[in-house]
């Protein structure tokens, strides 16, 4: 059975991707910082007949990444690696804080880069890496300067890998979606009308249906 690793797998899009990919025959390996959310997501996938494991991991920690790759993963070849974990802080640039800058780049860009580097030799033949970037990686947005910058960094990483592995069996897919109605916005008033946002399940369905054929997936918010 092929293995799919999903960061930020305890809730939102990560959990919904896990559900859908488990129905396609993947053994799902969920990664995240919050064990109770990972446990809940694991139970949901298992209840639907899927096979799933999880490990608590802070994507900002190289120690956590090394421990996972050399420990919990147990040499298992990886067919699908999904970089889904992300954080965002929003507001005027002049009001931004250093810890917000560091957190977003560590989570949204450096974490995926480090995890990819740690796993690159363990990816199975004909494997795929999916970078969940958001439309913030396509264009600048008001009051999102640092968040957008971190997403542009992940976009550049993904596009560069596409060039580096062109002609090989390793595919890199960049997925750009508008905001989703998830716990991501629980502590933010940046989005005033959540009804225009797509659900995580809707976005997961689109990604799962398209990633095998497209290297770029763009999913705009509802108009």
Residue ranges of domains in the chain, CATH in brackets: 3-219 (3.40.50.720)
Q: Are 86 and 176 in contact (CB under 8 A)?
A: no
Residues of the chain with pLDDT under 70: 181-196, 222-223
Q: Which two tokens stand for residue 78?
A: 């990886």
> How far from each other are the two terminal CA atoms of the chain, in whole angstroms?
40
Task: Supply the pLDDT for residue 194.
Answer: 58
Task: Supply the pLDDT for residue 222.
Answer: 66
For 40, the enclosing helix (H) or strand (E) is helix 35-47
Length of the chain: 223
pTM: 0.92
Task: Supply the pLDDT for residue 187.
Answer: 57
The model's pLDDT over 175-198, given as tens digits with 9 standing for 90+, comes to 999 877 655 555 555 555 556 678
């Amino acid at each position: 059975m092929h293995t799919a690793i999903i960061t930020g797998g305890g809730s939102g899009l990560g959990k919904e991707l896990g559900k859908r990919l488990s129905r396609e025959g993947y053994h799902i390996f969920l990664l995240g910082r919050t064990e109770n959310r990972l446990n809940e997501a694991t139970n949901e996938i298992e209840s639907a007949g899927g096979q799933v494991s999880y490990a608590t991991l802070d994507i900002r920690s190289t120690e956590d990444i090394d421990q996972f790759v050399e420990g919990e993963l147990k040499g298992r070849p990886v067919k699908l690696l999904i970089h889904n974990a992300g954080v965002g802080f929003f507001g005027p640039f002049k009001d931004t804080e250093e810890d917000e800058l560091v957190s977003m780049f560590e989570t949204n860009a450096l974490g995926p880069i480090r995890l990819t580097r740690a796993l690159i030799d363990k990816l199975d033949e004909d494997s795929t890496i999916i970078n969940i970037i958001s439309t913030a990686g396509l264009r600048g947005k008001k009051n999102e300067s640092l968040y957008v910058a971190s997403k542009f960094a992940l976009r550049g990483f993904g596009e560069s890998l596409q060039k580096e592995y062109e002609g090989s069996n390793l595919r890199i897919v960049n997925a750009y979606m508008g905001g989703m109605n998830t716990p991501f916005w629980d502590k933010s008033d940046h989005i005033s009308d959540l009804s225009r946002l797509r659900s995580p399940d809707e976005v997961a369905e689109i990604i799962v249906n398209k990633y095998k054929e497209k290297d770029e997936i763009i999913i705009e918010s509802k108009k």
